[in-house]
Structure 1
Amino acid sequence: MRRILTEKDVEPAVRGGSVYAAGGGGWTDHGRKLGLAAVSAGVPELVSVDELSDDEWVATAAAIGAPASTTPWEMQGVDYVNAVRLLEEALGSRIAALMVGQNGKSSTLNGWLPSAILGCKVLDAVGDMRAHPTGDMGSIGMAGSVEETIQTAVGGNREQNRYMELVIRGATGRVSPVLRTASDMSGGFIASARNPLRASYVARNAALGGISKALDLGYAILDAEPKGPTAMIDAILAETKGSILVEGEITEKSVTYTPEAFDVGTLVIGRGDAAITLHVMNEYMAIENAGGERLATFPDIISTLSQDAMPLSVGELEVGMKVHVLHVPKGLLPLGAGVLDPAVYPHPEKTLGIELARYALEN
C-alpha cells in the first residue's frame, strides 16, 4: 500500500485524529498547519511496513506536553524536521520512515512535514490508536527495555528564550521523563523524534494501519457532516464500532497542570446516582460511575463529543456544557506492544490514584 498524502487528506486526518485524541492529542489548528505545510513543501507518502526492508530504521515522530492550552507553548513545523535531523546525526544513519506514538488532533500528522522535507516515508503504524499521557505508552514495548536508544527534542517559546535542542541516549524508560521535563521548560509542548528501531521490530509490535483508520474515520465524518450532528455521531459509531456511554451536562471540572507537563484531575458528568467521573491525565484514562464501578479504562477509546458532534479536548470543556461520551473497547482496536506492557502503568496509576493495569491488561 502506497498513498501520496495530499491537501484533501489533511482535514480527514485532523477530524479522525480528533476522535482518537481521547481528550488530548494536540490541537486541530496545529494539525492543519502541519498537514498543509507538508503537502506544500513536498510529497509525503504513506506506506505500510511490508514495503520497508527489515533492517531499515523507523523512528517515532512525537509531540510532548499537555494539551489544555494553559502554558506558553510554541511549536513550529521546522521543530519536527530538526528533531529528525538531530536523530539521524546521532544515529549515524538515515531514517527510512516515521511512525507516530499516537493518533490525535495534530499527532496523527506529526510525521508528514519531516517526510515531505527529508524524504523519509510516513509509516501507516502508530504506537497506540488513541492518545495517551506518557511516551512509554507509545514506545511499542521499549519502556521496560535496558537497551540504549536515542531521543531528541526541539522547540520552545522563542520570545521567552525557552527554545532548546536536546539529544539524549539511554534506556527508554529512563530518558523519556527527561524529555517531558524539557517540554515543561520549553513552555509546555515540544517536538521529538525518538526510539529508532528496525522495521522488523515495528512490524511485530506497532498498531499497524493506525493512520489509515484515522483517515477513514475522518472521511466518514466529513461525508456525514452535511446531514447534521446525529448523522456525524452515527458515522463515528459505525466506523469505530463504539457506543455512546452517556450523554449529559458537565457538573464539575478539577484539572490542573503539573511540573511534569501533565494536565491531571477529574471531570464529572451528571448528578447524584447518575453521575460519572472521567479521570484525566492529559487524556481520559478511565470512567467510573457514582458507585465506583469501572466503566472504561485505557487503552479503550474514551472521547467527548459536543452537541454538534465535534470532539472536544479536556481544555475545551467547561462546567455547564452538554457532551456525549464515546467508548470503544480495546478489543475492537489494533493494540501496540506499549499499551500491553505492565511497565507503563505504575506512573499514571500513582499520578491518578486509581488502578489501570488490572483493567487494561485483562483478557
Structure 2
Amino acid sequence: MGRILRARDVEAAIRGGSVFACGGGGWVDHGRMLGTAAINAGEPELVGLDEIADDAIIATAAAIGAPASTTDWQMLGVDYVNAVRLVQKELGAPIYGLMIGQNGKSSTLNAWLPGAILGTKVVDAVGDIRAHPTGDMGSIGMAASPETMIQAVVGGNRAKGAYMEVVAKGATARISPVLRKASDMSGGFIASCRNPLPARYVRANAAAGGISRALALGEAILEAEARGRPAVIDAICKALTGSIIGQGTVTRKNVRYTGEAFDIGTMTVGTGARALTLHVMNEYMAVDDADGVRVATFPDVITTLDTAGNPLSVGEIEPGREILVLHVSKNDIPLSSSVKDPSVYPVVEEALGIDLQSYALS
C-alpha cells in the first residue's frame, strides 16, 4: 500500500537526496519549500510500481539547468504543477503519477506538490538514483527512441521578464536540448514534466524504489546527527555500502557556466600523490587519482562532504575548503535503462574530454 508523505519525510528526503545529488541536484531550501508546500496543501502519496496498473500513465517531474547558483534563476512550486497541467492538456488524458528523473537536494521532492494539488501519485521510481547532467540520462531508455514524446517546461525569473511556458513534441533526444536552452533563457533553472509513458514501460526501465532509498538514507542520517560528525559519515557509508576515497583541501577549482545551462570543469582535492581530480558536468561524473588513473566513474555515486558529513554541491565549494569524497559503486545501487544506454554518453564525454562509456557500460 502507498504511504502519505509527512513533515518528517521532507527532512529525510532532503538529507538522503543531498547525498545522491553528487554535487548537483538542486538546493536544500528549494527542496524544503517544495516539501513543506506539498504537505500543507494536501496529502502526497508515495506508491510503488507494483501497485500501479500497467496502462496507467506515469510522467517524469524534473528540474532542468545548472545547479551551482551562478545564475539568476527563479522557480516556484506552482511551476512544477503547471508543467504537469500542460502535459496533461496536450496528452488529452489524466496522468496517474509522477516519477522523478533523479534524486537530489530538491529533486527528490519534485513530484510532491503536484501530487498534493493535482492528486497525481508520487511514484517510487527514478530515472537515475543519482543526479546527472542531461535529461537523456534520466529518460528511462527513451533517449535513442524515435517515438514522439510530450515535454513541457515552466518557470523563469519574473522580475527580469524571463518567465516562460514551453510545450514541445518530438523524439526525446531532439527535444532535450530545446528545453535546456529554454532553461538558460529563463535564468538557468526551470521546472519540467516530460515523457508520459505507461506504467508497464516504467516498471521495466526505471530504477524502482529510488525515492524510498533516499528516504531510508535520510532517516539514517537524521538518527546519526545526534551522535556527531563521525556517526553521520559512518551512517552514510554503511547505508550505501560506500567508502571515503579521499580527504583534503580543495587546491583548484575551474568550473564555468555554459549557454547550454551546464556547469563544466574540474576540481582538485589534496596535493601530491594523494590528490584527486573531480570531473564536473553539473554533477561529479568521474574521479582520477594523481597519476591520472580512474578511481570512480558515473553511474557510481560520487559525492563531496564537509568534515561534518554534510553533502556539498559544486557551487558551495571554493579553494581552501577541506572536504571528503564519498564513492559508492554502481554495483550497489539500482540502475535504470537510461544509464545502460550508449546514446546518452557522447555529449557528456565530449564536454568533459574523458571516457565514461567503457566503465559505465561494462
TM-score by length of 1: 0.99
Residue 182 of structure 1 aligns with which residue?
182
Amino acid at match of 1:297: T
Residue 19 of structure 1 aligns with which residue?
19
Q: Displacement, 1:51?
A: 1.1
Distance 1:295 1:52 in 2: 39
The answer to whether residue 76 in structure 2 is matched with residue 76 in structure 1 is: yes
Question: Could you give the per-residue CA deviations for residues 265-300 of structure 1, whole angstroms, max 9, x where no partner exists?
Answer: 000011122211000000000000111100000000
- Matches of residues 217-236 of structure 1 in structure 2 within 5 Å? 217-236=217-236
Amino acid at match of 1:165: E
Residue 213 of structure 2 aligns with which residue?
213
The answer to whether residue 345 in structure 2 is matched with residue 345 in structure 1 is: yes
Q: Displacement, 1:359?
A: 1.0
Amino acid at match of 1:309: G
Question: Where do 5+ consecutive residues of structure 1 fail to align?
Answer: none
Conservation of the 8 A alpha-carbon contact between 2:266 and 2:278: yes
Say which SS state the counterpart of residue 128 (structure 1) adopts. coil
Distance 1:290 1:245 in 2: 13
Residue 296 of structure 1 aligns with which residue?
296
Distance 2:229 2:87 in 1: 43
Say which SS state the counterpart of residue 158 (structure 2) adopts. coil
Distance 1:102 1:120 in 2: 18
Conservation of the 8 A alpha-carbon contact between 2:233 and 2:308: no
Conservation of the 8 A alpha-carbon contact between 2:58 and 2:99: yes
Runs of 4+ in 1 over 3 A off after TM superposition: none
Amino acid at match of 2:221: I
Amino acid at match of 1:148: T
Amino acid at match of 1:361: L
Conservation of the 8 A alpha-carbon contact between 2:103 and 2:126: yes
Question: Could you give the per-residue CA deviations for residues 229-282 of structure 1, whole angstroms, max 9, x where no partner exists?
Answer: 100001001110100011111100000000000000000011122211000000
- Matches of residues 32-181 of structure 1 in structure 2 within 5 Å? 32-181=32-181
Question: Could you give the per-residue CA deviations for residues 282-332 of structure 1, whole angstroms, max 9, x where no partner exists?
Answer: 000000011110000000000000011100000000111111100000000
Amino acid at match of 2:104: G
Amino acid at match of 2:78: V
Amino acid at match of 2:107: S
Say which SS state the counterpart of residue 227 (structure 1) adopts. coil
Distance 1:188 1:137 in 2: 19
Distance 2:341 2:33 in 1: 34
Distance 2:181 2:43 in 1: 34
Say which SS state the counterpart of residue 74 (structure 2) adopts. coil
Amino acid at match of 2:348: P
Conservation of the 8 A alpha-carbon contact between 2:250 and 2:319: yes
Residue 320 of structure 2 aligns with which residue?
320
Q: Displacement, 1:50?
A: 1.3
Distance 1:232 1:273 in 2: 28
Amino acid at match of 2:79: D
Q: Displacement, 1:65?
A: 0.4
Question: Where do 5+ consecutive residues of structure 2 fail to align?
Answer: none
Conservation of the 8 A alpha-carbon contact between 2:253 and 2:319: yes
Distance 1:51 1:87 in 2: 23
Distance 2:264 2:112 in 1: 30
Residue 274 of structure 1 aligns with which residue?
274
Say which SS state the counterpart of residue 79 (structure 1) adopts. helix
Amino acid at match of 1:253: K
Amino acid at match of 1:311: P
Distance 2:273 2:233 in 1: 26
Q: RMSD of the alignment, in Å? A: 0.5
Distance 1:237 1:71 in 2: 33
Question: Could you give the per-residue CA deviations for residues 36-58 of structure 1, whole angstroms, max 9, x where no partner exists?
Answer: 00000011000001111101100
Q: Percent identity?
A: 65
Distance 1:81 1:217 in 2: 27
Distance 1:118 1:64 in 2: 22
Say which SS state the counterpart of residue 285 (structure 1) adopts. strand
Conservation of the 8 A alpha-carbon contact between 2:75 and 2:156: yes
Distance 2:50 2:93 in 1: 20
Question: Could you give the per-residue CA deviations for residues 68-108 of structure 1, whole angstroms, max 9, x where no partner exists?
Answer: 10000000000000000000000000000100000000000
TM-score by length of 2: 0.99
Alignment length, in residue pairs?
362
Amino acid at match of 1:58: I
Distance 1:93 1:104 in 2: 29
Amino acid at match of 2:205: N
Distance 1:90 1:352 in 2: 36
Question: Could you give the per-residue CA deviations for residues 111-137 of structure 1, whole angstroms, max 9, x where no partner exists?
Answer: 000000000100000000100000000
The answer to whether residue 249 in structure 2 is matched with residue 255 in structure 1 is: no
Distance 1:155 1:61 in 2: 14
Question: Could you give the per-residue CA deviations for residues 215-236 of structure 1, whole angstroms, max 9, x where no partner exists?
Answer: 0000100000011010000100
